[in-house]
């Protein structure tokens, strides 16, 4: 009778989780820890309401017929684990956690052996009304824990939790170049669009006989021309990973053709100094 009650409870919990947690094909595969770039980790952290270090205790495979959207060569698993640490988030979580995840299968139909009894870093949301249950934020949203991965992740989480954290940049609203009173002088202002509507701008300054300098401000204040944020910081990520590759022509409000060309050149300079935004996780 006790075993029957336990089985019924697990079936009910799985049913509720399946209804609550939409899945995409090939969800949450676990690559080697070294695969994540700064942008990969920032993408994961940016979308999660909780980031948790969890020790995997048990995996129960769900019948393929109940696993909607399951990818070829994968199995869906109900994972239970012990909370090691809440790395990010202000929501209460229990000592025991559970979530659904799709994992690649070997020839015998088994999940990757490296996750059994191992610690993971899970990027997720809590499930309303379901204490101790998590919803992964999407594809590849759990990674194997290591001291190295935690060391790389902590500064990202700390910056995102800061009250003055740079908001997500969604595009470029306006750009204008104004020439200075001396030949070779002037200033280009780029006004950025942000997810929360807050102010953000890039300033490029030209002085006669000197190379242009630039900086970014995530406030109403004009940016200091300090040659921009350091690579692999949150401010760098907001710009390098989300500014458009090309300047939309309708946003260039410079008065003359020469000023418009200078604005375009300054925008290209900023993108060049920011560099690319490599991602290994899709």
Find the CATH number of the domain harbouring 77: 2.40.50.120
Q: Give the tens place of pLDDT for each residue, 83-111.
A: 999 999 988 888 999 999 999 898 888 88
Last-in-domain residue among 137, 161, 185: 161
37 and 150 in a common domain: yes
Domain boundary among 138, 161, 184: 161
Q: How many domains does the chain have?
A: 2
Whether 8 maps to a domain, the answer reads no
Rounded to two decimals, the pTM is 0.83
When pLDDT is cut at 50, 70 and 90, the band that residue 282 belongs to is: low
Q: Per residue in 172-181, is it b (16+ CB within 10 Å) or e — as a string?
A: beebbbebee
75 located within any domain: yes
Mean pLDDT of the chain: 87
Same domain, 195 and 143: no
Kindly report, residue by residue over 106-124, the tens digit of the pLDDT.
888 888 888 888 999 999 9
What confidence tens digit (pLDDT) does each residue in 217-256 have?
A: 999 888 787 889 999 999 999 999 999 999 888 999 999 9
Q: Are 217 and 198 in the same domain?
A: yes
Residues 134 and 69 both lie in one domain: yes
Question: pLDDT (tens digit, 9 = 90+) per residue, 26-84?
Answer: 344 444 444 789 999 999 999 999 999 999 999 999 988 888 888 888 899 999 999 99
Give the pLDDT band (50/70/90) at residue 149. very high
Examine the domain organization and report whether 71 and 179 are in the same domain.
no
Q: Are residues 155 and 177 in the same domain?
A: no
Whether 32 and 150 share a structural domain:
yes
Question: Could you list the residue range(s) of the whole structural domain that residue 214 is in?
Answer: 169-274
């Amino acid at each position: 009778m006790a075993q029957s009650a336990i089985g019924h409870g697990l079936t009910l919990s799985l049913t509720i989780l399946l209804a609550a947690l939409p899945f995409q094909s090939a969800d949450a595969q676990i690559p080697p820890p070294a695969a994540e770039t700064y942008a990969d980790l920032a993408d994961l952290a940016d979308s999660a309401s909780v980031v948790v270090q969890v020790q995997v205790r048990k995996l129960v495979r769900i019948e393929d017929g109940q696993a909607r959207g399951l990818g070829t060569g994968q199995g869906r698993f109900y994972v239970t684990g012990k909370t090691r640490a809440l790395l990010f988030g202000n929501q209460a979580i229990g000592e025991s956690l559970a979530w659904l995840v799709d994992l690649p299968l070997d020839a015998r139909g088994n999940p990757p052996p490296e996750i059994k009894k191992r610690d993971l870093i899970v990027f997720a949301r809590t499930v309303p009304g379901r204490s101790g249950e998590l919803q992964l934020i999407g594809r590849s949203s759990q990674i194997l824990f290591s001291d190295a991965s935690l060391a790389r992740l902590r500064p990202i989480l700390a910056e995102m939790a800061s009250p003055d954290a740079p908001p997500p940049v969604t595009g470029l609203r306006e750009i204008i170049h104004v020439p200075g009173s001396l030949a070779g002088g002037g200033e280009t202002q780029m006004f950025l669009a942000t997810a929360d509507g807050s102010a953000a701008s890039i300033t490029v300054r030209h002085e006669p006989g000197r190379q242009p300098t630039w900086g970014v401000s995530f406030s109403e204040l004009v940016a200091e021309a300090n040659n921009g944020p350091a690579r692999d910081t949150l401010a760098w990520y907001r710009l390098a990973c989300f500014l458009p590759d090309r300047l939309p022509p309708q946003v260039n409000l410079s008065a003359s053709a020469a000023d418009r060309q200078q604005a375009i050149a300054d925008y290209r300079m900023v993108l060049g100094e920011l560099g690319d935004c490599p991602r290994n996780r899709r």
